[in-house]
Structure 1
Amino acid sequence: MFLTISLTGNDERPATDLGFLLHKHPEKAQAFSTSYGDAHVFYPEASAQICTAALLLEVDPVALVRRAKGQGKDRGGAPDAALAQYVNDRPYAASSLLAVALRTVFSSALRGECRTHPERAAAPLPLRIEVPVLPARGGAGLVRALFEPLGWTVGAEPIALDPQFPEWGDSRYVRLTLEGELRLSDALRHLYVLLPVLDDSKHYWISPDEVDKLLRFGEGWLENHPEQQLIASRYLSRRWALTRQAMERLELARLADADDIEVEEIDNAVDETTDTEEKPAPLAAQRRDAILEALRSAGAARVLDLGCGQGQLVGELLKDVRFTEIVGVDVSVRALHTASRRLRLEQMGEHRAARVKLLQGSLTYTDTRLKGYDAAVLSEVVEHLDLPRLPALEYAVFGAARPGTVVVTTPNSEYNVRWETLPAGHVRHADHRFEWTRAEFREWADRVARRHGYDVAYVPVGPDDPEVGPPTQLATFTLQQITHTARTAQTDQTVQTVQTPKEESAA
C-alpha cells in the first residue's frame, strides 16, 4: 500500500516544513512496526518549492489472517476457499490497514500538533495527496461525493481490469489524487475515515469504541457531510446498533453548534422599543438569571450543566462563589473547545480553574461521572431530541445520575404567535424536534416527577402574557426525601419500564 503527501512552498515558506508538520525528517528513511506489517516513511523529493512524503505499508498477509482468526473473524468458509485469505489485494490496495498506519505513524500530525511551527499546523496549506490504487466500492462517483464536499479537487481515474483487454471494463479500483488548501490535520483525518469507507471492508474487530474514533476524527466535517449516513454505516462495518448510536451523536453535535441561534434572536428582530425606552434583557439572559435563582434557592453547590454548548451558563455560574464545582457536559467536542476558549480556562487562576470541568458525553446514555451532584440543568435541551429518545434521557438524568435538583427550561409554543416574523405552524429553531404548550410540558414534567420520586414546581421566564403565557417555561424538580429502601424499589421499577441503552444494545 502506498500514499504520498506533497506540499508546495517558496523561499519564505519552504515546502520542507512538511517534515516538521509530520514529525519525520526529510533526510531519513524511517520504519515503524504495526499490527499488520511494517510502515516506511521516506521523502522522494524535498526542496523549498516542493516536498513529498511517502508512506509505504508492507502488509504481511499471513499475520493478517492469523490475527483475524484470533479475533473470531475467520471468514475462510469452505476449505476450498481458504487460499483466498492469503492471495488477495491487501498488500497493494489502500484500505483500513493503511488508515491504521496513518494513525500510528502520523499521530501528532493528526492532532494538529507541531511545537516548532504551530502557525503552519493551524493554517490551510497547498496540499496534493496521491493514492495509486484505492478500492472504491461505488466507483469514481462515490469518491467525488465523499471528498469534494470537504474542499478537495478530486481526481478519481478508474483502473482497467487489464489494459490489454479493454473490453473487460474497469476494475473496482481508482487512482486517487486530491488537491486543495486545507490544514494538514484535516487532510489526514479525512483519509483516516474515508479510506476504509471506500474499501468497505474493515480488517479488524469493530468494537463500540470505534464510534468514539469516528466522531473524534470526523469532528468539524462529518456533522454536516451529505453522505454521513453512508460514512457511518461503512466505517462501522454496517453494524446497525453502532451506526444508530453514531448518527444520534452526530445529530446532537450538529444541534449543539446551532444552540446559540435561539428564540432571543427572533425576539430582538421584532423589538419595537424606541431609543429612549429601556430595552429588556435578552431572553437568553433572563433564562440564565431564572436558572441561577432556582439553583441558589435549592442551596446547590455542585452543579451539572447538561448540554452546556459553548459555556454561557458555566461562565455565569463561575461568577458566584457559592457554586463550588461546575461540570459542563456536551456531546460536541468542538462546542467544548469553544467553551474552553470562551471561559479562558488556560489563563484562569488555579483556584478558579479547580471549580470547573468540561466533559464530553451523550445525555441519552447513563454516565457514572454524573452521579452525586446537588443539581443539574437542562437548558433548552429536551426539544432537540426526538420524542422516542426522551425516555432514555429521563432515565439517564432522573433515574441514574439522580441529582437533588433538576432545572429544565424549554420554549412555550403558545407564545410563538407573538412573533410576527415566525411563520404560523413553525418552531422557533430549525433543529427543534417539537415545542410544547404549557399543558404538554406540565404533563411531561409531572409524569417524570412521579416516576422518579421528585416534586416539581413551575415558573415563567420572560414576559408572562395573560393569553399565551411566557416565551420560556421552567420547571424545578426537587428530589423527595424518601427512605433508601423506597428509593431503591422505585429505581428498580423505573429500570423495568425504561430500557437503558446498554440493555437495549445487549438485546
Structure 2
Amino acid sequence: MLVTITATRPAGAPWPATDLGYLLAKNPATVQSFSHGFGRSRVFYPEADEARCTAALYLEIDPIGLIKSRNLDSADFSLSQYVNDRPYAASSLLAGAIGQVFRTAIRGTSKERPQLAAAAMPLTLRLPVVSATAAFVERMFAPLGWTVTATPLTLDPAFPAWGESRYCDVTLTGEQRVCDALSQLYVLLPVLDGSKHYWIDGEEVEKLLRAGEAWLPGHPDRELITRRYLGRRPTLVRSALARLAESDEVPAAELDNAVPEEGDGVEEGVVAAEGTGNGSDGTSDNAVAVAEAQEPSPHTSLATLRHEAVVAALKDVGGKSVLDLGCGGGALLRHLLHDRYFTSIVGVDVSVRALQYAARKLRLERQPESVAARLTLKQGSLTYTDASLKGYDAAVLMEVIEHVDPPRLASLEHAVFGAARPEAVIVTTPNVEYNVRYETLEAGRLRHRDHRFEWSREEFAAWAEDVAAQYAYTVGFRPVGEVDPEVGAPTQMAVFRRGDGKITGPTNAGRAEADRGSQSTQPTQSPKSTQSPKSESSERSAKSEKEAN
C-alpha cells in the first residue's frame, strides 16, 4: 500500500519545497527502510526540487507476520488470513507505519525548520486504495479543510459491467501543517477501514487524544470517529469522550450519546429493564452498537435536533413541570435545567450509575440553589408504578421504548399513561425506514446494541393510537431531523395530550399484572417480525379482561 505527500512552494515563499524533508526528518536523497511486525516500509522521494517535492511511504505486508499480529476479533478462517485486501488497501497497518516512520513529524517539531513546522503549507495527499465510500471519505476529511477527490475503483476495468468496488482512489489537497496532515491520516485511516489489526485497549484512548489534539475536538463527527477508532468498546469510547468534553470546544452533553457499558444505562433513554436480553449481562448477544447511525449529517447532530424538538413540544403543551423518564446521562435534563420556562424537573432512570453520571456532568453542586432546587434525580424502573410521579404537566420518553422488550411494553404503558397520567406525554423513537440512508449501517442492523426493536412510521403510529385510545389521550405526530421524501425523518415523535374521556385500558387484573412487572426472559424480537403493535396491545387487553372475568 502507498501514500504520497506532496508539498508545493507558493509563489514568493522564502523556503524551497524540498524543506519537506526537514519536516518529515527524511532525506530526499536517500531511500530509507523500516521494519514492522507485519512487514517492511520504505520512504523515498519520486520528485524533489525547489518548486515541488513528493515523499512516498510504501508498505509491503508480510502475510505470516500479519497473521501473528492479527486482531483477536478477526475471523479465524484459514484462507481469509492469507487472501484479503490488507496488502493493498489503506488501513490501520498503514496508519501504524505512518506513526512509526513519521513520529517526529507528527509531533510537529523540527530542529532545522521550527517556524516552517508550525506553519500551514500547500499539501497534496494521495491514497490510491481506500476501503470506504467516496461520501464517507468526504465526510471525514472535508471538515478539516481538505478538498477531497474520491474516485470509486471499478471491480475490473476489463469488465465495466461488473460495476464499482467498495474502494476508492483518494486525493486530498489543501493548506495544512504537515503534523496535522499526518495525524489525521494516523487516526482516520482505521476509521475509514472500520477495523484494526491489533487488540484495542486503554492505550488507544491516549493515542487518539494525543494524535487528534489539534483537530479532533472541533470535528463535527468527533463522536463517530471516536467510536470507530476505539472499535466501539463502550468503556473506552466513554472515557475518550469524557476527556474531549474537558475542552471548551466540546459541549458536555455530547457525552450522553456515548455507547454505554453492557447493562449500563448511561446512554440517554436506556431503561435497562431487569432480566431482559439474551446474554448473561442483560444485553442481546447479536446486538451491535452503530454509532454512525446517530448522526444524520456532518453539521447538526440528530441528538441536538431531538433535544430541540422535545423542548419545543413541551412548550407547545404547556409542560412546565416535567418528568424525564429514562433520563440516562442527563442530555435532555441539561437543556431543561438551563431554560427557566421549566419550573420542576424530575429525571428518572433505573441505573444509579447513570444518575450519578448525570449529576456530575450537570455540576449540580456548583449550580445556584435556585437552579439546583428545580431538579430531582430519582432511581426507578419505568415498568413499575410510582405514586410520586403523579401530578406533572408532561412526561418525556425520549429514545426509551425501543430499549424495552416487547412483552414489557404493557407495563410501561400502564405505569406512564395509566398510573402517573401526566397532562401530556412526548415519545420519540428511531424510524427504522430511515436506516437505509446510513451508509455505514449494515442491512438489518439496528442503530444501537441495546435496541430491542425499531419501528416503521406505520408501526409507531399504530402503537401510539392504540395507547391513546386505551388511556383516553389524543395523539399527534411530528418528524425530527431532515425529512427524506421516501423514508421520512430519522426520528419520529408522538405528542399525547390527555383527554377527559374514560380510560378503556387494562382491567384491574391487568393493572395488577403491570404493577408487578413482567419478568419475561424470552429472546429479543422485533414487533415488526411478529405482529403489529396495535394487534399486540389489543391481544393483551383481551387477555386481561378474560383473566378478570
TM-score normalised to structure 1 length: 0.51
* 1:200-238 Cα distance to aligned partner (Å, 9 max, x none): 111111111111111111113222322222211211122
The aligned residue for residue 130 of structure 2 is 134
Q: Give the 3-state SS of the residue equivalent to 1:192 in structure 2.
A: helix
Instruction: Confirm or deny that 1:17 pairs with 2:19.
Output: yes
> How far is 1:413 from its partner?
6.6
User: Deviations for 1:3-55, whole angstroms, at most 9, x for unmatched residues?
Assistant: 00000116731000000000000000000111111110000000000000000
Separation (CA, whole Å) in 1 of partners of 2:369 and 2:154: 59
Q: Quick one: distance in 1 between partners of 2:223 and 2:184?
A: 16
Contact 2:4 2:126 in 1 (8 A): yes
Q: More deviation in 217-226 or 23-32?
A: 217-226
Q: Which residue of 1 aligns with 2:230?
A: 236
Does residue 120 of structure 2 align to residue 120 of structure 1? Answer: no
Aligned counterparts of 2:157 and 2:73: Cα–Cα separation in 1: 35
Which residue is 2:65 aligned to?
63
Aligned mate of 1:410, from 366, 369, 372: 366
- CA distance, structure 2, for counterparts of residue 243 and residue 409 of structure 1: 26
Residues 163 and 410 of structure 1: CA distance in aligned 2, closer, same or farther (over 3 Å): same
**CA displacement at 1:87 relative to structure 2:** 1.3
Match of 1:391 among 352, 356, 372: 356
User: What's the counterpart of residue 42 of structure 1?
Assistant: 44
Aligned length, in residue pairs: 281
Shift of 1:255: 5.5
Q: Normalising by the residue count of structure 2, what TM-score does the alignment of the two structures yield? A: 0.47
Find the aligned partners of 2:204 and 2:184 in 1 and give their Cα distance: 16
| Structure-to-structure mapping, 1:187-226, within 5 angstroms | 187-226=181-220
SS for the counterpart of 1:242 is helix
Query: Which AA in structure 2 matches 1:170?
Result: E
- Out of 88, 93, 103, which is 2:99 matched to? 103
Equivalents in 2 of 1:87, 1:173: separation in Å? 17
Distance in 2 of aligned mates of 1:251 and 1:214: 14
Shift of the 65–116 alpha-carbon distance from structure 1 to 2, 3 Å rule, reads same
Structure 2 partner of 1:246: 240
Partner residue in 1 for 2:178: 184
Question: In structure 2, what is the Cα distance between the partners aligned to 1:409 and 1:144?
Answer: 43
Q: Per-residue deviation at 1:251?
A: 2.4
What CA distance in whole angstroms lies between the structure 2 residues aligned with 1:23 and 1:47? 17
The one-letter code of the counterpart of 2:99 is R
Tell me, in whole angstroms, the C-alpha distance in 2 between the residues paired with 1:195 and 1:74. Answer: 18
Deviation readout 1:253-285 (Å, 9 max, x if unpaired): 345799xxxxxxxxxxxxxxxxxxxxxxxxxxx
Correspondence for 2:372 among 436, 439, 444: 436
Of residues 135, 158, 169 in structure 1, which corresponds to 2:152? 158
2:247 & 2:184 partners in 1: Cα distance? 18
Contact in 1 for aligned 2:95/2:189 (Cα 8 Å): yes
Partner of 2:7: 7
State the match for 1:418 in structure 2: none
List runs of 5+ in structure 2 lacking aligned partners.
253-328, 330-337, 339-346, 348-352, 379-549
Q: 1:73 to 1:409 in 2, by over 3 A?
A: closer
Contact 2:218 2:250 in 1 (8 A): no
Distance 1:205 1:33 in 2: 20
Instruction: Note the residue ranges of structure 1 that are not aligned, 5 or more in a row.
Output: 259-363, 365-382, 396-406, 415-434, 445-507
1:72 Cα deviation (Å)?
Answer: 4.1
Q: Is the 8 A contact 1:224 1:254 kept in 2?
A: no
Give the CA deviation at 1:83. 1.2
Question: Counterparts of 1:193 and 1:185 in 2: how far apart (Å)?
Answer: 12
Q: CA contact under 8 A between 1:36 and 1:60: conserved in structure 2? A: yes
Is the CA contact 2:4–2:127 (under 8 Å) kept in the aligned structure 1?
Answer: yes
One-letter amino acid matched to 1:190? Q
Give me the CA root mean square deviation: 3.2
1:247 CA drift (Å):
2.3
AA partner of residue 157 (structure 2)? P
The aligned counterpart of 1:167 is 161
Specify the code of the residue in structure 2 equivalent to 1:20: Y
- For 1:240 and 1:390, how far apart are their aligned partners in 2? 18
**Displacement of 1:393 after TM fit?**
10
Counterpart residue type for residue 90 of structure 2: A
d(CA) in 1 for partners of 2:364, 2:96 = 43
Flag the 1:74–1:151 CA change in 2: closer, same or farther, 3 A: closer
Amino acid paired to 2:118: A
The amino acid that maps onto 1:6 is T
1:417-432 aligned within 5 A = none
Preserved contact between residue 65 and residue 74 of structure 1 (Cα < 8 Å): no
SS in 1 for 2:209: helix
Q: Distance in 1 between matches of 2:355 and 2:49?
A: 58
The alpha carbon displacement at 1:410 in A equals 2.5
Counterparts of 1:49 and 1:187, CA distance in 2 = 20
Q: Indicate the percent of aligned positions where both proteins have the same amino acid.
A: 49
Paired residue type of 1:202: K
Moved over 3 A (4+): 71-74, 254-258, 387-395
Matches of 1:229 and 1:256, distance apart in 2 = 10
Structure 1 distance, partners of 2:175, 2:211, is 19
Work out the CA distance in 1 between the residues paired with 2:45 and 2:28: 6
Query: How far is the alpha carbon of 1:112 from its aligned partner?
Result: 0.1
Other-structure match for 2:270: none
Aligned CA distance change for structure 1 residues 44 and 255 (closer, same or farther; 3 Å): closer
Corresponding residue for residue 311 of structure 1: none
Could you say what secondary structure the match of 1:223 adopts? helix
Cα distance change on mapping 1:93 and 1:229 into 2, 3 Å = same
Deviation at 1:66, TM superposition (A): 2.0
Q: Deviations over 1:184-203 (max 9, x none)?
A: 11101110011111111111
For the residues of structure 1 that align with 2:104 and 2:354, how far apart are their CA atoms? 37
Q: Is the contact between residue 223 and residue 254 of structure 1 (CA under 8 Å) also seen in structure 2? A: no
CA deviation digits over 1:70-100, x for unaligned, max 9? x7456224xxxx1111111111111100000
Separation in structure 2 between the aligned mates of residue 160 and residue 182 of structure 1, nearest angstrom: 31
Within 2, Cα distance between the matches of 1:115 and 1:413? 54
Distance 1:189 1:167, change over 3 A: same
- Contact between 1:144 and 1:154, CA under 8 Å: does it hold in 2? yes
Q: Give the CA deviation at 1:390.
A: 7.2
Q: SS in structure 1 opposite 2:17?
A: coil
